[in-house]
Amino acid sequence: MVALPLVSGPIVFFLALDQGTSFAAAAAHGSLMGAAGQAAFCVAYGWSGRLGRWPAALALGAVGFAVGALALGTAARLPLAPLVLILAGCVALALAAMPAPAAGGTPASLGRWDIPCRMATGTIAVVALTRAAPLLGPRYSGVLAAFPVVTSVLAVFAQRAQGSHQANAVLRGLLLGMFSFVAFYAVLEISVERAGIAVGFAAASAAALAVQALTAVLRRALGARVRSSSRHEREE
């Protein structure tokens, strides 16, 4: 669920209100560049979190985000359809590159400051980026809006509470949901100028939820098939 644009979506929405639909469409394109940064963030944090403490992992994850977003800068000039395919490939590669999940384990419990930190960081991000948008321009506003603020908080708290394997579980969840993130901004870029803010964001939200539901169904079906195959192997 954290992959849904719960922070970046409101940022781009307020940018549309303040700067107009053309600015919002360009910011949506920038957020698609940020999707590659999110994938790189997960891989960088995932591996560095296994080797060190969370401050270093978070810093390296931020570096990974910057590198991933900038690396897609040339591809961002492509038409939208090839760009979406490239992003889907980036997410799939990131899932394959993540550290293997630990066997067993229990879900990480929420710390006392977990929800207040998520609320504070999300609010700060919305206010800061909408204020800085005229200076940053639409593309870089969109890229920075895509930084995984909530995921960073969740991963840090999970690592502090139960270790890097739980942080990696959070990051794998983000990657599985990234397909809906890409769908949201692809539809928003297409529709917000043509149909207006209300219809554009409604269509983008519907697309994101539909892709998220499809991803959940496919993941459940794949998991059931893997469990069935493992059971048959044990029986043999």
State the angle between helix axes of 197-235 and 21-51 in degrees (0 to 180), rounded to the nearest 10: 30
Query: What's the pTM?
Result: 0.81
Q: Mean pLDDT over residues 87-99, rounded?
A: 91
Averaged confidence pLDDT in the chain: 82
Residue with tokens 């390296």: 60
At 220, the pLDDT band (50, 70, 90 cuts) reads confident
For 105, phi and psi rounded to 5 degrees? 95, 160
- pLDDT tens-digit series, residues 99-140: 887 655 555 555 566 667 667 766 776 677 777 777 778 777
Can you tell me the distance from the alpha carbon of 7 to that of 174, in angstroms, rounded to the nearest whole number?
A: 14
DSSP state of 172: H
Other C-beta atoms closer than 10 Å to the C-beta of 203 total 17
DSSP state of 72: T
Residue 76, pLDDT > 70, answer no
- pLDDT tens-digit series, residues 177-219: 899 999 999 999 999 999 999 999 999 999 999 999 998 888 7
